[in-house]
Structure formats: structure tokens, C-alpha cells
Amino acid sequence: MDQFTLNLLFVGASFALYIGIAIWARAGSTSEFYAAGRGVHPVTNGMATAADWMSAASFISMAGLIAFTGYDNSTFLMGWTGGYVLLALLLAPYLRKFGKFTVSEFIGDRFYSKTARMVAVICLIVASTTYVIGQMTGVGVAFGRFLEISNTSGLLIGACVVFAYAVFGGMKGVTYTQVAQYVVLIMAYTIPAIFISLQLTGNPVPALGLFGDHVASGEPLLAKLDQIVRELGFNEYTTHHADTLNMVLFTLSLMIGTAGLPHVIMRFFTVPRVADARWSAGWALVFIALLYLTAPAVGAMARLNITELMWPNGTDAQAVSVEDIANDPKYDWMQTWQKTGLLDWEDKNGDGRIQYYNDANTAMQEKAAANGWTGNELTKFNRDILVLANPEIANLPGWVIGLVAAGGLAAALSTAAGLLLAISSAVSHDLIKGQLNPNISEKSELMAARVAMGVAIVVATYLGLNPPGFAAQTVALAFGLAAASIFPALMMGIFSTKINNHGAVAGMLAGLVVTLVYIFLHKGWFFIPDTNSFTDADPLLGTIKSTSFGAIGAMINFAVAYLVAGMTKETPQEIKDLVESVRVPKGAGAATDH
Amino acid sequence: MVPRGQEETCKKGGYALSDKEASNAYWKANVRLILWSLVIWALVSFGFGILLRPMLSGIAVGGTDLGFWFAQQGSILVFLALIFFYAWRMNKLDAEHGVGEE
């Protein structure tokens, strides 16, 4: 059986499984649609949260970004896990105690203001839509590869699948489907990593192999990797090169963004008790950590494998020949990925060999001149292909490659579905039912929810064709927006009785607008290419990139809220009592809806 | 106007006044626990992983140093421990202050 059929088989079987579960657990009532009837066990909920959370950014994109940058991109690892600490300590138990369905309902009630609820809805929609753009980028890469078509066609097909899939379910369908998706994606991520770790270090646990010894050279793996990339003029893998301030702010943005994203917070509304909300966050991180502890190993080992494939006899000997790339089965992956347009090479100096090195490095330029090289010849290597190409690069069996294709799609699909659900509930439940037409029937509300999903996916697909960055970078922007707008409002709502309606509205608006403008100035207005005035290489403010600005936006949000609340009328007594009741688990009971 | 938290205990004819005090003491203990946890949270990630990495550079771990390990794996393991510790401690605190769900 050839690889194409094998991929189709794996992807097809996994899809049949998800759709089967979605149909079996179809949502009947609105309560089931949004919160799965609140009957989900913390471990199950943790697993579903993990699938919901680990998107194309974590699965497809992150290890690639780490592989080509090394230590400096550890920010993704710390940022996307550290947020769970904030979630467990600062938000989850209290939001569960409050017991409503959506994040904006909490904000509307706590700040006794329909305006606050509206502003929260807008913040949620902006952050979630940006997030879906990143997912669509990943979906495009995955479908493009396994159907062996261009990235663009892959994206369009993927969009149809995501839509069909998300419209079916609602939270109940999604919860159980996501458990299945978690199992598929974690196997798809760890199995090839185990194989590769065994090949390179002899250790079956990739997370330990990363710090183990490289079998072929007998040196520590990371020391070997540092040496080989240094010889090609690249930055050493384990050394700190990036701007420290930017690293700190970026990590902080990802952390507080995690605790401000509606589709993750919504998960904690679905557990039976307050104590379960605390445990749920922990279980979610257990399942997330299984992937996150493996990811840095995947990145480092893939970088070593790729570099050694390009220089099969060492960096002092001759580079790989064009002939070998065309004929040797070890290089088949280069042929298949070239079709997606995301990988390319060119024999610039016509010597029949492909030299891969850093042509911006002055020492390498001298060496290149001496050897007759005219620039780096591995001209294009999209970071987002690394994880999907990894089993092929390491020459693993065909079924592993098929499994990885299924896993990548599971990651992108589960998150896209969760986000679409958050967007649709924001529109139908908060906007239409909460504001425009409170008497809307359940049936029309569900209909409105589905229409909102459709609109969101069209916008995200359109923007996904020209994404503002690699999947994980686009997703990081979404985190910045959530960090600057939602998280501060939720936290102040629970931890301070002083913040009133005006303070919260002013804070959220200030955080959202300033962050959005900063992002648009660097990434183009509404992410339309070439409309930007600055670039992240030379940002407006010091060294602060647009992806890191969420942390600053959050600080602005806090400051404005305190200032405005100090100048306006005090919070009424019944709201102070509400805050105090949210702080203790007693009397949580089943959640209500108005 | 009776605050929501007290409504129930009043009906049960119990200890309405000390109930308020109990929840204040509970909240104070909770905030203290959160603050300490966040100090550790920041120390292992922003501290050991980024800002204090030069200080840890003398401690070798598998071809690199301890700071690199904290940035890529150590911080995640500490985060996990923190969340489970907090959940366990809070459940005990709920019971001690009589503010649990049951």
C-alpha cells in the first residue's frame, strides 16, 4: 500500500470515529449545547480541555519554531503551560461557583452592565477569530500534505470539513469527540518521537533523550547539535540570543492569554463542583504536559536529523547531491513536501549539490566564497511542516506517517471546533438573546449559533490564505488580545470589589484597542498584507514585538480600570455581596441561566 | 439585605455572624496561598528559565545548563505540582473553614 492511501486510511478512520461520536452525543437542548449538562468528570474534562487547547499551534507549529531557533523559543513552552497555574488559582473555581454559561455573562453580571457584557463579547470574538486564522493555517498545511495538493487547496477543503464538523455538535458532542481526539493526537505526537529518540539516543522517553547522549558520536545530544549548527554559521541551539525583555513579555502574554481565552474557560463551567474545577485545571495540564515535555525533544532531534541529511558526511565534507535528493528514498520527503510549496531548494551555483548554511553569517560568507558557494540553497523550509514531515525525515514506517497526519488534523479540528463554539455562543447567547431579542426561541437560538459559526469560518479561511505568521505566531497574537482584554476584567471582578462598571468597560476597551492597533501597525490592518507601518524586526516601542504586546495591553487594562473606578460611583452593596459569595465554594449547586 | 452567602445559614438557624468571619478568614488564607504559589510560578519560569539563567550556568545538565532545562521542562513540572498542591490545600481549607460545598 502506498503512503497516500495509508494517509487517507488513517485520516478517514479517525474522522469516522469523531463524527460517529458527535452524532451519538448530539446536543438536544441549549444547556447541553453550551455546557454538556455539567456532568463531565474532572479527568474526562481535563482530557477534553487538553485536546481543545492543543491546537495546530502546539501540534504542528511549535516544535518547528523551537527546532530552528532553539532556547529562545522556550517561551512557547513556558507560556502555554504557565497559564494553567493562573487559571487554576485565579479564575476556574470562582467562575464555576458563579455558575453561568459564558464568560461574558459573568462580566455582565459582575459589572452590572449590559455595555460591559457587549464589550466582553466583542473582545471574545476578536481574540477567537484571530485564533481560528492560526488554526486554518495549520489545517492548510496538514490537508495540503496528506492529499498531496497545494497549501491553498488544502486550506479550502479543510475549512469545509471544520465547518461541517463543528455545526453538528455543541459542547456535549464536542466533549466526547475531543477525548477521542486527544488520544489520537497524543499517540501521533509521541510515537514518532519515541522512535526518533531511540534512534538518536537509545532512550525511549524523548523528554529524557533530549538531555541524553547522542549514540553516533557519544557526545551529549545538545552539545552535538550546538556544534553542528555552529559549524554552519547558525546560532547555537542552547544559547540565549533573543532580547530578554521581549522574551519575558512574550511568555507573560501567552500565560495570561491562556487564562483569558473563552473556549478554555468555558470548560470549567462543565464540571459538577467547585473543587472539581480546581482538579480539572491540573488534569488538563497533565495531558498537555505529555505533549509539551516531548515537543522540545522533537524540535532538537528533527533539527539534528535535517542538518545531517543535508550534510551526510559531516559539515567539512561535501553537501548532499541533487541526484541523491531525486533518487535516494531517504529524501523522498523532500519531493512530497515540495508539492505543497512549503519546502524548496535550488542549486544556485550549479555544482550539483545543495549547500545548507547561514548565508547571513560573515565567517560563513568567507568559507562560501572559498568553496564557490553562492548562498544557502535550501531556499525554503516552512517551520509549520517540521512536525508533520518529522517521521518521514527520520525514515519511520508508513503507518507512523499516516498517524501523524491524523493527529495534526485532530489538533487543528478540535480547537477550531471549540473556538467556533465559543464564537457562536457569544453571538447567539450573549449578543442576540442577551441584547437584541431576549424572547428568541431555543430553536432560533441554535440556528443563530450555527450561522455565526459559518461567518466566522469564512472570515478565518479568507485571512488564513495570507496568514500574518506561522500558525503558532498567529495564535500568539490571539493570546495577546485575550490577555489584554478578558483576563484583567475577570481577575479584577473576583479579586477586587472596588472595580465598578465604568472601570471594567474602560479597562477592557483600552486594553483591546491599544493591543489591536499595535498588532495591526506591525502585521497590517486587519491582517491585510503590506498595510503595516512597522515590522517585528524593528518594532515601534523598543524591542517589544507585536506578539509580546498583550502583556503591556493587560497592564494598561488594569491601570485604566483602577483609575476610572476611582473617579466614578462606587460598586453597589449587592454586587459586593455577589463577589463575596463567588469567593466561597459553599452553595455552588447546579448552574442557572436567565 | 442579606448577603447571598448568609441566606442559607440564617435559614438553618445557625451561626450567621461567625459565618461572615469564617469566609473572611478563609479568603485571607486563600490569597496568601495564591501569592506564595505565584512567587514560585514566576521564579521557575521568568527566574530560572530566563532572567537568572546566567546564575545557573555552572550547573551542567545533559550538554547544557540547568536554566535551559527549567526553560524547556522544569518549569512545566513545577507548574503541575503547584496546581495539584493548590487544589489539595484548598480542599482542606474549605473543610477547615466550613465553606465547602457539602
Burial of A567 (0-12, 13-18, 19+ CB in 10 A): exposed
- Hey, of B68, B82, B86, B89, which one would you mutate to test binding to chain A, going by the most A CBs within 10 A of its CB? B68
Count structural domains, chain A: 2
Element (H, E) at B64: strand B64-65
Inside any domain, residue A565 = no
Residue that is last in its domain, among A461, A479, A497: A479
Q: What is the pLDDT of residues A381-430, one digit of tens each?
A: 988 888 888 888 888 888 898 899 888 888 887 778 778 877 887 888 88
Contact (CB<8Å) A584/B99: yes
Find the closest chain B residue to A590 by CA distance: B101
CB-defined contacts A:B, below 8 A: 155
Q: Name chain B contacts of A584, Cβ cutoff 8 Å.
A: 5, 23, 26-27, 99
In a domain, A569, yes or no: no
Residues A127 and A216 in one domain: yes
| Residue at which a domain ends, from A448, A479, A510 | A479
Residues whose CB is less than 8 angstroms from the CB of residue A525 and which lie 6 or more positions away in sequence, other chains included:
A531, A532
**Is A561 a domain residue?**
no
Tell me the residues of chain B between 24 and 63 that have a Cβ less than 8 Å away from chain A. 26-27, 30-31, 34, 37-38, 41, 45-46, 49-51, 53, 61-63
At a CB cut-off of 8 Å and minimum separation 6, what does A427 contact? A121, A125, A448, A449, A452
State whether A282 and B5 contact (CB < 8 Å): no
Are A194 and A206 in contact, with CB atoms under 8 Å apart? Answer: yes
Could you tell me the CATH number of the domain that includes residue A209?
1.20.1730.10
- Element of type H or E holding B61: strand B60-61
Integer Rg of chain B from CA: 21
**Is residue A574 in some structural domain?**
no
B60-100 pLDDT, tens digit per residue, is: 888 889 999 999 999 999 999 999 999 999 999 988 888 88
Residues in chain A with CB shorter than 8 Å from the CB of B1 are: 573-574, 577
Q: How many angstroms separate the first and last alpha carbons of chain B?
A: 25
Q: How far is A16 from chain B (nearest CA, A)?
A: 34
Which pLDDT tens digit goes with each residue over A220-259?
999 999 999 999 999 999 989 889 999 999 999 999 999 8
C-alpha cell at B83: 496546581
* Domain that residue A372 falls in: 306-390
A580–B64 C-beta distance less than 8 A = no
Residues A419 and A469 in one domain: yes
Chain B contacts in chain A segment 226-285 (CB below 8 A): 226, 238, 240, 244, 247-248, 251-252, 255, 273-275, 278-279, 281-282, 285
Alpha-carbon gap: B13 to the closest alpha carbon of chain A (Å): 16
CB A107 within 8 A of CB A120: yes
What region does B62 belong to: left with phi over 0, alpha with psi -120 to 50, or beta?
left
Reported as a single tens digit per residue, the pLDDT across A481-503 is 999 999 999 999 999 999 999 99
**What parts of chain A have a pLDDT lower than 70?**
25-40, 168-174, 589-594
How sure is the predictor about B8, in pLDDT bands with cuts at 50, 70 and 90? very low
* A446, A479, A512 - which closes a domain: A479
CA-to-CA dists, residue A304 to A102, A141, A267, A309, A378, angstroms: 46, 23, 39, 9, 15
Contacts of A281 in chain B (CB under 8 A): 83, 87
Q: Note the pLDDT tens digit of each residue in B20-55.
A: 777 888 999 999 999 999 999 999 999 999 999 998
Do A251 and A173 share a structural domain? yes
The Cα A46–Cα B39 span in angstroms is 25
Residues A313 and A329 occupy one common structural domain: yes
User: Is A312 found in the same domain as A263?
Assistant: no
Q: In this predicted model, what pLDDT tens digit does every residue of A73-104 receive, in sequence order?
A: 999 999 999 999 999 999 989 988 887 777 88
Residues A253 and A383 placed together within one structural domain of the fold: no
The DSSP-derived string for A222-269 is HHHHHHHHHHTTPPPSSS--S-HHHHHHHHHHHHHHHTT-HHHHGGGG
A592 within domain boundaries:
no
Residue A459 shares a structural domain with residue A338: no
Nearest CA-CA distance, residue A66 and chain B, Å = 10
A105 and A150 assigned to the same domain: yes
In a domain, A485, yes or no: no
Cell output for A69: 531557533
pLDDT tens digits, A135-167: 888 888 888 877 788 888 888 888 888 777 777
Within a domain: A545? no
Quick check: is A131 in a domain? Answer: yes
Listing DSSP states for A348-412 in one string gives: TT-SSEE----TT-HHHHHHHHHHT--S-S--EE-GGGHHHHHHHHTT--HHHHHHHHHHHHHHH
Chain B's closest residue to A223, CA to CA, is B63
Q: Closest residue of B to A236, CA-based?
A: B64
In this predicted structure, what is the pLDDT of residue A26? 62
What DSSP state is assigned to residue A570? P
Q: Kindly state whether residues A261 and A313 are assigned to the same domain.
A: no
Among A403, A329, A385, smallest CA distance to A8 is for A403
